[in-house]
Amino acid sequence: MTCLVSDIFDVRYGHSLELNALEPASASEGVAFVSRQMGNNGISAFVAPVPDLEPAPAGDITCALGGNGVLTTYVQEAEFYCGRDVAVLRPKTPLTKQEIIFYCMCIKANRYRFNYGRQANKTLSKLLVPSADEIPGWVNKASLDKFAGMREALDPATAPKLTDRKWAEFTYSALFDIERGKGPRKSTLTESGSTPFITSTDRNNGLTGYTPQGPQHAGNVITVNRNGSVAEAFYQPSPFATTEDVHVFVPKFDLNKYTAMFLTPLIRMEKYRFSYGRKWGLARMRASLIRLPITAKGDPDWAFMEAYIKSLPYSKSI
């Protein structure tokens, strides 16, 4: 049996604050600012407390009522403020954390009904969701403990500062042998395949599926899209196959997953230079420059890069 969202939750507008009118603050000292953005639990910034305005408490749910992230719905783990067109939901009766997350997914499943021009301001409370009696049994069997500790740093010592280092430019060809991607067509993908198939997507580490054909490239490399989502870069730990729209950066140095995590965001910063009509071909890739921290001898400081990544939150989960 279904019921209305408003039967399960009190639904109200959030604070409707403008981020550009607030004072920025650090994550440790500020209050989370939840907007309509997708990802990062809807948190787009941290701001200084606003005088005479109480933040919403931890445990409340936020739901974007418009924009590209319409109906993205999150449980907030700490107190927060809201931007424009964000609703705040609070259960009318006690629900477990698993049940709250289940309802977040139920609400988000209605995203297909809305778009930038058709917002959910007037209809959120009227959306149909399962009643409390109809929550599947597996919901409360789901373990949330498996995510405990994932935010920890591998080496929680004080993070090295990027500004304390000298940086220098290197051509990609000085650091990598750059190969054209090799592999089968997407049509060969099957559920029974075991070889990772990397394409020019911008998500899921480039993984589109698996192919029964054998790998064409060794692992411990970086894949970079020349077409499609140009300049998306991902670390590939295992042997794989790919397409010609993906180039493979084979390191001329001792690459590991930590130094790869330092390099891939820097490679992605080249995105603005390219588009569907201006691809990042082999010749351009080899001649392109990347800025890296250096040692006293002027070489890339791989040890520093590894230490920096290990000091960051979530590095224990890499």
Tell me, what's the pLDDT at 91? 96
Structure tokens at 289: 């420059």
Q: What's the CATH class of domain 2-147? A: alpha beta
Strands 241-242 and 195-198: parallel
Domains 2-147 and 162-317 share a fold: yes
Q: Which residue's entry shows tokens 């990598």?
A: 176
> For the chain, what percent of residues have pLDDT higher than 70?
100
Q: Is 17 in contact with 85 (CB distance < 8 Å)?
A: no
SS (H, E, C) 90-119: EECCCCCHHHHHHHHHHHHCCHHHCECCEC
Q: Give yes or no for residue 252 having a pLDDT over 90.
A: yes
Tell me, what's the pLDDT at 143? 84
Q: Is 268 in contact with 203 (CB distance < 8 Å)?
A: no
**189: buried, middle or exposed (CB in 10 Å: 19+, 13-18, 0-12)?**
middle
**309: buried, middle or exposed (CB in 10 Å: 19+, 13-18, 0-12)?**
buried
Check residue 56 and report its DSSP letter.
B
Q: What is the pLDDT of residues 66-95, one digit of tens each?
A: 988 899 999 999 999 999 999 999 999 999
Which of these, 235, 230, 259, 261, lies nearest to 246 by C-alpha position? 230
Q: Give yes or no for residue 276 having a pLDDT over 80.
A: no
User: What is the domain partition of the chain in residue ranges?
Assistant: 2-147, 162-317
> What is the CATH number that goes with domain 162-317?
3.90.220.20
The average confidence (pLDDT) of the chain is 91
Tell me, what's the pLDDT at 158? 72
Tell me, what's the pLDDT at 160? 82
Task: Look up residue 132 and give its amino acid.
Answer: A
Q: Is 267 in contact with 242 (CB distance < 8 Å)?
A: no
- Record the pTM: 0.67
- Backbone angle region of 16, left / alpha / beta, with phi > 0 → left and psi within -120 to 50 → alpha: left
Q: What is the pLDDT of residues 105-149, one digit of tens each?
A: 999 999 989 877 788 988 999 999 999 999 999 999 988 877 777
Please list the residues that pair with 209 across neighbouring strands: 197
Q: How many CB atoms lie within 10 A of CB 162?
A: 11
Distance between CA 23 and CA 19 in Å, rounded? 8
